[in-house]
Every structure is written in C-alpha cells, then in structure tokens.
Amino acid sequence: MSKDFENFKMTLRRIEKKWQEKWRKQEVFDAKPEPNKRKYFITVPYPYASGPLHIGHGRTYTTGDVIARYKRMKGYNVLFPMAFHITGTPIEGISARIRAGDEESIKRNRYYISLYEDDPETVDRILKSFENPRNVANYFSSVISSDFDALGFSITWKRRFTTGDPEYNAFITWQFKRLYELGHITTGTYPILYCLKEENAVGEDDILGGDEIKPEVMEYVGIKFKLNDNLYLVAATLRPETIFGVTNIWINPEGQYTLAKVNGERWIISKDSIIKIERQGYKVEVVEEFSGWKLIGKYTDVPGSDRKVPILPGPFVDTDEATGVVYSVPAHAPYDYAALVDIKRNPGEYGVKKEIVEMLEPIPIIRIEGYGIYPAKDACEKYGVKSQLEKDKLEKATEQVYKDEYYSGVLTVGPFKDWRVSDVKPKVVEWLEGMGRAVKIYEVSALKKPVVCRCGGKVIVAVLENQWFIDYSREDWKNKAREALRNMAIIPEAYRRLFEDTIEWLDKRPCARRRGIGTPLPMDKRWIIESLSDSTIYMAFYTVIHRIRGRIPPEKLSPSFWDYAFLGKGDVERIAEEVGVTVKELEEIRNEFEYWYPVDQRHTAIPHITNHLTFFIFHHVALFPREKWPKMITLNELVIREGSKMSKSKGNVIPLVEVPRRYSADWYRLYIISQADLNTVTDWREKNVMTVGKKLRRFWQIMQFEGNKNSSKNVLDRWIISRVNRMIEKVTECYERFKLREAVVEAFFNMLNDVEAYLKYGSANVDTFSYIKDRWIRVMAPVIPHIAEEIWEKLGNKSFISLENWPEPETELIDGNVEKAYATVLQV
Ligand SMILES: [Zn+2]
C-alpha cells in the first residue's frame, strides 16, 4: 500500500472521530416529536449482547443507517433507536461455562475482550467479571454500542434499554396478559426441541447456528414389523403409504441396537433412540443390547399382508435418526434402490447369503406420469447415481421423486388403490393404528446435523406436559396477520411469499422455559418468557422508555398504565395518580407513542423472516388497532468472505471493531452498500475493498479542488450540470425504491467518471465546480457521512450536513441533447 494511501486512511480516521464526537456532544440524532413535521420510525434488530458483531451484521445495520440518514435529509423527523437483547439462556450459559473453567469458552471470551482491550490485566479482570451474567450483557452491549458509534450510525441512544430491565419486564408482562386474555396463549402436551444436558426446552436461539440450520420438530410414523410373538422391529418413515412396496428392512450392521420393553410390548430399536422415545412419553425398560449383525438375515412380517421380508445390512442407516430401523421401498425410494442394486451385485461384501437377495425385486405401488414402472430407478439414472455412497446425487433424486409422487402419484395396489398420494397418508396411518402397528415418533429435522445446544448438549424432541404456547394456529389471528401483510410493503418483494407461507404453517409454539434471563410468565411465574416471544413488539417500547425510566418505579408499571400508553384506554387521572406522575406527564407518554407509531420501516436480514418478522406481524395485529400495524419490512442478504461462508471455526470472521482500524467507517460503508443489491449475498473481497478505497481517495482529492477562477464556461459546463441533476433525479428514485446499490453506483462511481471527464476536458470553472460539490456531497452524505461533514464544513457551512436538505433536481438544467452529444466523447 502506498504512503499516500496510508496518509489518506489516517486522515479518514481522524475526521471520523472528530464528527462522531460532534454528533454526540450536540445530540444531533436525538428525536423528539414535532407535530408539524412528518415522522419516520425505522428500526433494525436489537443485537444479542453475548459477543461482538462482525462485518456481516454490519451490513444490516449500515443499510438501516443509510436509509435513516436519507430520510432525515428528505425532511422527515427520524427515530432510529437501539437496544440490546439479553433474554434466555445463552448469556447465563457463558457465565456458567466460565465459572466451571471451560477452556474453550474462556479462550473465546478472552479473544472477544482482547479485541477491545490491550492491557492483559484488564482483559483478565473483565473475563473474571463474566462469572456474573449481568456483566457479560453489560460488557457486550457497551462494546457493540461503541462499534456502532465508530461506524457513524445516526442512532439516538436516549431510548436504549436491555430486555432484562425491570421496565421492559413490566412491558412484557402487559403483553402476555393481553395475549392470554385474547386466548392466544394456551397450555398442553406437545413435542418440543429439548436439550438433554440441561433437561430443558430449547428454541432456535439456544441452538448452535440455529437461525441457519432451522431446527424443527418432525413427526415420523413408527411401523411395527413383527419378528415373532410380541417382538417388533419398529421402522420409522415419513411416507407410511409406501408400506405396500416394502421388500426388506435395513439395519446398520455396525450399529448398536436394543431390545426393550416399551409400554408392555417388546421392541427392537437403535440404542440411540431409547432416550428419545423415553422423553416422548413411552415407558421404556432396556432388556438387552447387541450389534446390528445379530438381526441380519432374519425375517419379519409386513403389516396387513401375509408376506415375509428379510432384514439386510444397510451401512447408510443412521442409528441416531428416529428408531435407526428403516424399511426398504426400492421402487420408489432412490436410496433403497441404489442399496438394493449394490447388495445384489455383491452380497458377499455385505455378509449376506446370495439366495436371500437374488429373489428381491422392487415392488411398484405408485403410478406417476413421466416415469416408468420404477420411479426410483428412473431418478437414479437421471442423476447418474452409481452407488449408495453418492449422497448428494441421491438427495436430489429423492427430493425429485418424493415431490412428484406427492403431487401427482396414485396408489396402484392394496386397500387404498386409486387414492392420490397427497390425500392417503392419514388414511394409511389410521389403518395401521387399527391393527396396532403404528406409533408416533418425533425427531429433530434440520438443514445440517447434528443439532447441538449452545451448552454443548444434544438436542432431541421431547413430549412434555403442561407446556405454555403461543397458539398461532387460530384462523381469526392468521386472517388479521394475512391482512396486515397484504397492506405492508415487503422489499425485496420476492420475499413476500415466504412470509405468506410462514403465516400458513405457524402452529402452537412454546413461549416459555424454566430458566434464563427474562420476564416471568404472568400466569405461572415459574416460567420465563423465551427470547423469540419477548422480542415481537419492542419497537413500541422505544417510543416511551426515556419518559418512564427514572420517573416511574417499575413496580408501578401496571397493565392499566400500558393500556393507557399504547391503547388510550382507561381514566387518565386515575392512572396518573396510581403510577405517581402528573396527568401532563402521562399524556406526554401517550403522545410519544401516538406520534411515532406505527413503525414505518423495519430493516433486517432474511433469516429472520420465519421467526422474528412473522411474530412481529402476528403480535402487532393482536395487540394494536389497524392504524398502528407496521407499514414496511425491508431485508438484506448475508455477507460471505472471499467466496466462503464466514464462521468461527474457519477463523475468517472480521469483527466489526476491526473495521475502523483496518479500513475506515466511510470506506466500509461505501463498500458494503455498493457491492450488492439487498437480495444478493455480498462477497467481501479484499481486492475490491481496495479498489473502492482508492476511488474514495480520488473523490476526496477532487473535493479539495476549488476550481479555476479565470476559466470561462463552455458547453461542457452545461453538460456536467445536466449530469449532476440527472444523477440527483436517478439517485432519489433509487433511494425511494431502496435500490441502494444502484443509488451508490450512480451517485459515486458514475458521477466520479463524469467529474473526471469534466476536469480533463472542461473548464473546471469555479462556479460550476462549487455547484457540483454542493449537490454531490449532499447526495453522498448518507453513505459517507463523516467525509461529507468535513467537506461541508470546508465549503463554509456552519450546519451539519446530516441535518441538511437532500438536493432537489433542477430538471430545467437537464439537457438530453448535450448529454447525448458528449456521451461517447467523454469516456475516461
Ligand atoms: Zn443445553
């Protein structure tokens, strides 16, 4: 890197600190209701305060800030607040592991702290303080807020809170009391994700990588194949209708299996599955354990028929998936087809007698258009499957066949002949249950396994009694959510479908745990409301917290207080007296909410659609009147680095705190906004970061230039003025449609080319040049606010550019003919 560029970087960092200090001191981004001004309430997710953020998170927050800054310059009174989420078990888990001397956890947190502290003794002291969970939350919320300041985010901090604050607990108590009264909260027995180490229910937020691997509860049908009197081999399936095509059973020969008394019957299932069915309410007594080999070569019956099928070795069978016993339907399941072909080709290799397998042929039971008699065979050929080891190809083949059979397959044999596959499953289950041959078995499904709790414990599905749920299944609630979604802008629009689907499938969802940080469930205080359930309408809390804290004792924040603040219900004089404030003060609280609500825009990253964002819609429609329902959700994709995913294990994460040290705030902001549209993944590439940095330096140099006093204007002055105004017009339109990348390409890169051309071929006239600078710097201000302030000051202005007006295009100065005439001549 050249010396010049190093100097430029130092200059940027100095400028950035200078303006951050001025913004803070003069409370430039503080937001107060101004009844005569249009308001704009934009929120980004409050970060979880259990560790530092990285450049991927930074994309979401920077995008939110750029929009907030643009809207402010467009004349809106903008509220852009921030808080910290600390609910649940992760923060307690960090403390517990540090107290227990867990080396990995100590090492990781030492690293996190040393990102911010140089002195080893200070690092140790802070690490030691992490033995108390409150200190973990306080430390990380404090460093994240300083990271945000160092990136120039125009946040108002006056409304900052954490979800562990007593005022927040009072707010959540109100919310859950209301939901309970409305019948949205119920209790019952239900299958849930469960950590075996902590013996506790867990949610997506408690699971390692939970928001990416999407762990869910999946229901299998366990089908009981009889070995002899009262001895069953229990095979698990998602497609019980294929029972009519079973040719054999697969057992992992190297796996461990168990003979156990289960609810009075004798079952054989994998050893791994014993604890799962125990937690799912079965009464289990282990009799004997043995390896899978012991079962190979034996025969079972097939429920509902007089056929017998052999048990064969299937090394691909995962003993930790459901019961670890699988039945084989080679005509319709590509895995089974490939395994059968393999074993028939070379039975000796698998340790089976030739005469057992040579007679086995696929049994076709489903007819579908476009396939031959054996759909699994066709799919294996189509995807080029050569053996059962080709997992990727087999996954694709399986997905294809299952989908096609589900949507257009028809059964061709058995008691349900001519039934459509899509309709027949519950009928087959009922029929098997009638014979005493089917049971429910739950398993965790996820995009990637194993599914592990943040505490290190294995996650299974348990069926627990007396669970508390939010019941999203009710049609009247779904209808209101659908209505809200229809009236809401979703940007990029392509994601609307995922919201629609989520509203459809959302069902009962556990909302409380027996431990963790958070708010006790008002109906039963042994339970703590979990983190996805206490973060649905927190935007409302931003509107009032600064008027409550220090004025009203938290214990006085009764439901009737919130009813008045948010819904205008109740007698203002009585409530004011109850909580100990004047009527005027109470009315001011109400007015703040009335002024700022609804949320005009919520900006976040796409993995939040299926949880946080859909709950955000549901809870708003349950608790608030229509005019307070959210108006818009905008989303951005994730950030990868040099073509691969960022992860702790790869060690390729750039923490946010490093950004102003390695690069600079404005440089990062310009890069991250200019690289990708909202719906595209940003690939962080060092080479491109440098290219953008160099362009930024060129921009800075040009902005130092004052223009020639003695030159006379010519046609190129008309040309560049036309270009500037056209740019303003385009960029404004891009911002209005949240096409931020396009906005920056126009405003920065394309304009830079035009200005270079003007300087090279034109007069560089001083008046023209100051006209350009005045417009250009304002258009760039949302993205590179520090540089913009510095130049704005150099141009002789006393105001903050952050609070200046966005330039209006002077359309009469746009001259299409001149632009056309010089379009090709002026390519530099
Ligand atoms: Zn756990």
The alpha carbon torsion through 191, 195, 201, 203 (nearest 10 deg) reads -90
- Ion ligand 1: residues, CB within 5 A, are 195, 197-198, 453, 455, 457
At residue 229, the pLDDT reads: 83
**Per residue in 515-545, is it b (16+ CB within 10 Å) or e — as a string?**
ebbbbbbbeeeebbbbbbbbbbbbbbbbbbb
Residue 147 pLDDT > 70, yes or no? yes
Tell me 530's DSSP state: -
Ligand 1 midpoint to CA 90 (Å) = 9
How far apart CA 568 and CA 591 sit, in angstroms, is 10
Residue 199 pLDDT > 90, yes or no? no
Ligand 1 midpoint to CA 177 (Å) = 29
Residue 398 pLDDT > 90, yes or no? yes
Residue in the block written with tokens 């089976």:
352
At residue 405, the pLDDT reads: 93
Distance of alpha carbon 514 from its chain centroid, rounded? 25
At residue 210, the pLDDT reads: 78
Q: What is the mean pLDDT of residues 185-192?
A: 92
Look at residues 374, 284, 389 and name the one whose alpha carbon lies nearest to residue 335.
389
At residue 383, the pLDDT reads: 95
Other beta carbons within 10 Å of 681:
14
At residue 802, the pLDDT reads: 98
Confidence of residue 127 (pLDDT cuts 50, 70, 90): very high
At residue 218, the pLDDT reads: 94
At residue 352, the pLDDT reads: 87
How far apart CA 612 and CA 58 sit, in angstroms, is 19
Tell me 753's DSSP state: H
Ligand 1 midpoint to CA 180 (Å) = 28
Ligand 1 midpoint to CA 392 (Å) = 31
At residue 72, the pLDDT reads: 98
Residue 491: C-alpha distances to residues 633, 636, 765 (Å): 6, 9, 42
Residue 828 pLDDT > 60, yes or no? no
At residue 349, the pLDDT reads: 86
Taking only the tens place, the pLDDT of each residue in 325-379 is: 999 999 999 999 999 999 999 898 888 888 889 889 999 999 998 999 999 999 9
At residue 815, the pLDDT reads: 92
Confidence of residue 827 (pLDDT cuts 50, 70, 90): low
At residue 335, the pLDDT reads: 95
Ligand 1 midpoint to CA 85 (Å) = 19
Taking only the tens place, the pLDDT of each residue in 589-647 is: 999 999 999 999 999 999 899 999 999 999 999 999 999 999 999 999 999 999 998 88
Ligand 1 midpoint to CA 210 (Å) = 13
Ligand 1 midpoint to CA 113 (Å) = 24
Residue in the block written with tokens 């903008």:
78
In the predicted model, what is the mean pLDDT of the chain? 94
How far apart CA 702 and CA 706 sit, in angstroms, is 9
- Comparing 712 with 71, the larger pLDDT belongs to 71
How far apart CA 685 and CA 675 sit, in angstroms, is 10
At residue 202, the pLDDT reads: 85
Confidence of residue 514 (pLDDT cuts 50, 70, 90): confident
Taking only the tens place, the pLDDT of each residue in 783-825 is: 999 999 999 999 999 999 999 999 999 999 999 999 988 877 6
Residue 497 pLDDT > 70, yes or no? yes
Give the residue ranges of DSSP H helices in 331-420: 334-345, 354-357, 375-382, 391-408
At residue 825, the pLDDT reads: 67
Ligand 1 midpoint to CA 196 (Å) = 7
Ligand 1 midpoint to CA 93 (Å) = 8
Ligand 1 midpoint to CA 618 (Å) = 28
Taking only the tens place, the pLDDT of each residue in 748-793 is: 999 999 999 999 998 999 999 999 999 999 999 999 999 999 999 9
Ligand 1 midpoint to CA 521 (Å) = 21
Confidence of residue 648 (pLDDT cuts 50, 70, 90): confident
Q: What is the mean pLDDT of residues 540-563?
A: 97
At residue 132, the pLDDT reads: 96
Ligand 1 midpoint to CA 452 (Å) = 8
How far apart CA 198 and CA 458 sit, in angstroms, is 9
Q: What is the mean pLDDT of residues 263-267?
A: 95
The alpha carbon torsion through 704, 709, 712, 718 (nearest 10 deg) reads 30
Ligand 1 midpoint to CA 809 (Å) = 58
Ligand 1 midpoint to CA 316 (Å) = 29
At residue 629, the pLDDT reads: 98
Domains along the sequence of the chain with CATH? 216-445 (3.90.740.10), 688-822 (1.10.730.10)
Confidence of residue 93 (pLDDT cuts 50, 70, 90): confident
Ligand 1 midpoint to CA 100 (Å) = 15
